[in-house]
Amino acid sequence: MAVTFTLEKTDSWTKARAGYLKTPHGTVPTPLFMPVGTQGALKTLHPDHAEAAGAKIVLANTYHLFIQPGTNIVARAGGLHSFMGWDGPILTDSGGFQVFSLPDREITEEGVTFSFEKEGKPIFMGPEESISAQNELGADIIMAFDECIPFPAEYGYAAESVERTLRWAARSKKAHKRPGEQGLFGIVQGSVYPDLRERCARELVKMDFPGYAVGGVSVGEGHDLMQRAVEYSVPFLPEDRVRYLMGVGRPEDILEAITRGIDIFDCIIPTRFGRAGVFFTPTGKLRIHKKSYRKDRYPIDTSCECPTCKRFSRAYLHHLFTIDEPLGKTLGTIHNIHFYMDLVAQARLAIVEDRFKPFKRNFYQRYLGDSSGPKG
């Protein structure tokens, strides 16, 4: 297989796992977080910036690259790694989440017809089209085309969606032309219904994917139901395959999902917040626009080793955001990515040393002011 997972250690008191994910562009430790480069770029960052911040693998979006510049153009440029100048592993999503988020779309057994946002012309995407596009992009990890339904969803529709997702997963696997170079992951759907999650997971495992994702979350269900969706899915996934929770990115959500056996995460939160002047620290979020930082000579976080904190003060960052200087967005994004990379690295070390529960409790006490963790 192009992508394999090696389990190193499972925490004695939780389902938290430490391992290694081997890809054609390198082996990365898990748990891991993937910054999102939606259109083939981490906004405001040179690839060297992302690497300096600790990023080891990034995510790009098939739908957006399918629309612009076109996956055929990326393929002619040597694939996505060459096109965006990133030497490490890349994961592309199937485009399903974005397609199903569009207001004007028609779902059939074959796939989805939607209107191109700028030109209004109809475009069709089904499992074969999604996989073909991802084969052209050439990412290390690609995703099966699935149906991501909104929350709340009636049981009957969620059940129909699971069956369609399973049929589309089988078609995705059949359409995959580069299994020796790209690992294709299946996606567990089923909304917040335990029996549907179980059925979807069990049937996907029969298809023998090299990795599995828990999808259909971060669609308005809230923290508790999100974690229940994980609990309804993970027990039916094999121990020797990597597990990916799609689109989840608050620090507390990540730690709770790690507790339940998830290995990989992605989210736009750290980069989007960094561009907005909201910075993550061990004691909570720091909003650099506040006037109290105008003369503050300390870095964002005195304990942080990121390039931003090692060189620049809060006062300087406040100045950059006040005048809307793009450098501020770059420096803020670097810091936030580093915070997330450090968080999962610390979590991994705690798992290996069998102290994940006290690590999580101590993090919550500082970050949330409550060692018992997130509420609601």
The per-residue pLDDT of the chain, averaged, comes to: 96
Interatomic CA distance for residues 326 and 63, integer angstroms = 27
Helix H, strand E, coil C: the string for 200-218 is HHHHHHHCCCCEEEECCCC
Collapsing DSSP to helix, strand or coil, 230 comes out as: helix
Q: Are 215 and 148 in contact (CB under 8 A)?
A: yes
Give this prediction's pTM. Answer: 0.96
Q: Which residues are catalytic?
A: 93, 266
The predicted-structure confidence for 153-165, as pLDDT tens digits, reads as follows 999 999 999 999 9
DSSP SS3 for 304: coil
* pLDDT of the residue at 343: 99
What confidence tens digit (pLDDT) does each residue in 96-119 have? Answer: 777 777 777 888 999 988 876 666
Q: Please state the φ and ψ torsions of residue 318, each to the nearest 5 degrees.
A: -60, -45
User: Could you give the domains of the chain?
Assistant: 4-273 (3.20.20.105), 277-367 (no CATH)
Quickly state the pLDDT bin for 375 (edges 50, 70, 90): confident
Q: What are phi and psi of 103, to 5 degrees?
A: -70, -40
- The tokens describing 132, both together, are 């073909």
Buried b (16+ CB within 10 A) or exposed e, 338-373: bbbbbbbbebbebbeeeebeebbeebbeebbeeeeb
Alpha helical stretches, state H, the chain: 47-52, 62-67, 71-76, 80-84, 96-101, 127-137, 155-175, 194-206, 222-233, 251-259, 269-275, 307-311, 314-322, 326-352, 356-367
pLDDT at 103: 75
What radius of gyration do the chain's Cα atoms show?
20
pLDDT greater than 70 at residue 60: yes
The string over 291-322, giving b where at least 16 C-beta atoms fall within 10 Å of a residue's C-beta and e elsewhere, is: eebeebeebbbeebebebbeebbbebbbbbbe
User: In Å, how far from its chain's centre is CA 193?
Assistant: 23
At 220, the pLDDT band (50, 70, 90 cuts) reads confident
Q: What is the mean pLDDT of residues 76-81?
A: 98
Residue 169 pLDDT: 99
Q: Residue 140 pLDDT more than 90?
A: yes
The predicted structure's pLDDT at residue 119: 66
pLDDT tens, residue by residue, 1-50: 999 999 999 999 999 999 999 999 999 999 999 999 999 999 999 999 99
